[in-house]
Every structure is written in structure tokens, then in C-alpha cells.
């Protein structure tokens, strides 16, 4: 993509937003209730951590949205070819020690694989709910927005110190077939 990021304000239809809010929170509760963090997993990197990788392998609701015509319409504005790769539920529970150090998404993939992250914002992101910084600057994001983040754009986020969960869902596609570890593979566009 041309710019490091773009914010598509209020683009998620209300019923999709509600479905994703519910599904991501259910996944996080499943992860916590079963004390899975740190255990080996057959999703993504092979170990459960606080974010849930390839979430739509577990959630049929998220799978429908990750592969939907709605996403196709948005993704096709940025990518002439797109492959499934990862959809990650990022739910920060109240006071959970869950923050992202400065990183760019492509650093976690093999050299040459380029990702674009279409992050569904499911709750408002404020300095208190997990300050989101892109290239060093805080950005305000609202429930219903999609943050389109190029895989080379440096970003980070803080802990959620509010008393409510803060949910986001990263729908990530690659410009070439990833065919890599246990992530998704296959053509979307």
C-alpha cells in the first residue's frame, strides 16, 4: 500500500461488529478458562499466547467474516492479489498485563512475505484502554473503524487499565501465498 496506514472510519456494519465483539470475547474467555497461555497449540506459531492466532479456525463466525464479500470489497482497494494468512483476536482484559512492544508485522514472517493488517476496532482505543501508537504517535480509534496497517509500519500498544475488555481483531492477508508453518494459505482475491 502507498501510505503506512489508513483509518476507515465507521465502516463495519453494526451486525458484523456485534458478531465480532461477541466471538472475540468468547475466544478470550475460552483461552483463560482453560489456562492455555504458554501451552502448545496447533494454531499459528504453535504456542498459545494472549492474542489468539488463526482465530477463525476455532470460530465459524469469524471465519465467515474473514472470508466475506465485505472484506473482499475493502481488501481489493489495497491489494490486487491477496492470500489468507492470519486472523488474530486481540482482547485485552481489564488490567491484563498485555501490551505490544514496538514492532512491524512483517518482522514475524519469512523474508519477502508482505502482510497487510485490516484491524477491526471492536471497542474504542484510548490511552487508557491500550494506547495505540503508529510511528511514535498515538492514534484514536473507534469501535466500527478498520485500521489498515501496512506490514512494514512500526506500531505498539499499551495495557488496558479500564474496567472493561478492549477488543480488536486483526484480519491479515499477504500479497503472495504464504504456505508457511501452520498459518492459513490460499487465495482470497
Ligand X SMILES: O=C(O)CCC(=O)C(=O)O
Residue whose CB is less far from ligand X, 83 or 155: 155
Residue whose CB is less far from ligand X, 34 or 102: 102
Task: Select from 116, 108, 120, 88 the least CA-distant residue to 176.
Answer: 116
* 96 close to 159: Cβ distance less than 8 angstroms: yes
Strand order in the sheet with 155-157: 100-103, 155-157, 132-134, 137-139
Q: How far is the CB of 112 from ligand X (least distance, A)?
A: 19
From residue 125 to residue 154, the character string flagging contacts with ligand X as x (rule: CB under 6 A) and all else as - is: -----x-x----------------------
| Alpha-helical runs (H) found in the chain | 14-33, 60-66, 69-75, 127-130
Q: How far is the CB of 68 from ligand X (least distance, A)?
A: 20
- Give me the residue whose beta carbon is nearest to ligand X: 157
The size of the interface with ligand X (CB under 6 A), counted in residues, is 10
Applying the rule CB under 6 A, the residues between 86 and 125 that interact with ligand X are 88, 90, 100, 105
- Regarding 155 and contact with ligand X (CB under 6 A), the answer is yes
Strand order in the sheet with 115-121: 5-8, 146-150, 115-121, 166-174, 83-92
- Distance CA(127)–CA(91), nearest Å, equals 16
Residue whose CB is less far from ligand X, 61 or 116: 116
Residue whose CB is less far from ligand X, 41 or 157: 157
Buried b (16+ CB within 10 A) or exposed e, 146-168: bbbbbbebebebbbbebeebbbb
Q: How far is the CB of 171 from ligand X (least distance, A)?
A: 10
Residue whose CB is less far from ligand X, 69 or 156: 156
Applying the rule CB under 6 A, the residues between 48 and 87 that interact with ligand X are none
Give residues in contact with ligand X (CB under 6 A): 88, 90, 100, 105, 130, 132, 155, 157, 168, 170
Amino acid at each position: 500500500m502507498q501510505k503506512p496506514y489508513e483509518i476507515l472510519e465507521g465502516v463495519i456494519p453494526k451486525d458484523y461488529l456485534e458478531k465480532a465483539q461477541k466471538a472475540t470475547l468468547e475466544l478470550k474467555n475460552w483461552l483463560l478458562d482453560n489456562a492455555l497461555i504458554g501451552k502448545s497449540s496447533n494454531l499459528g506459531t504453535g504456542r498459545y499466547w494472549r492474542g489468539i492466532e488463526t482465530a477463525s479456525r476455532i470460530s465459524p463466525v469469524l471465519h465467515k467474516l474473514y472470508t466475506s464479500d465485505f472484506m473482499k470489497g475493502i481488501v481489493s482497494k489495497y491489494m490486487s492479489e491477496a492470500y489468507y494468512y492470519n486472523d488474530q483476536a486481540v482482547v485485552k482484559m481489564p488490567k491484563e498485563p498485555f501490551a505490544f512492544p514496538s514492532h512491524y508485522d512483517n518482522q514475524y514472517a519469512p523474508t519477502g512475505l508482505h502482510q497487510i493488517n485490516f484491524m477491526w476496532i471492536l471497542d474504542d482505543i484510548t490511552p487508557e484502554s491500550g494506547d495505540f501508537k503508529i510511528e511514535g504517535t498515538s492514534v484514536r480509534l473507534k469501535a466500527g473503524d478498520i485500521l489498515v496497517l501496512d506490514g512494514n509500519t512500526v506500531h505498539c500498544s499499551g495495557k488496558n487499565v479500564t474496567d472493561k475488555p478492549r477488543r480488536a481483531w486483526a484480519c491479515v492477508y499477504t500479497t503472495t501465498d504464504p504456505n508457511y508453518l501452520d498459518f492459513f494459505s490460499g487465495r482470497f482475491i
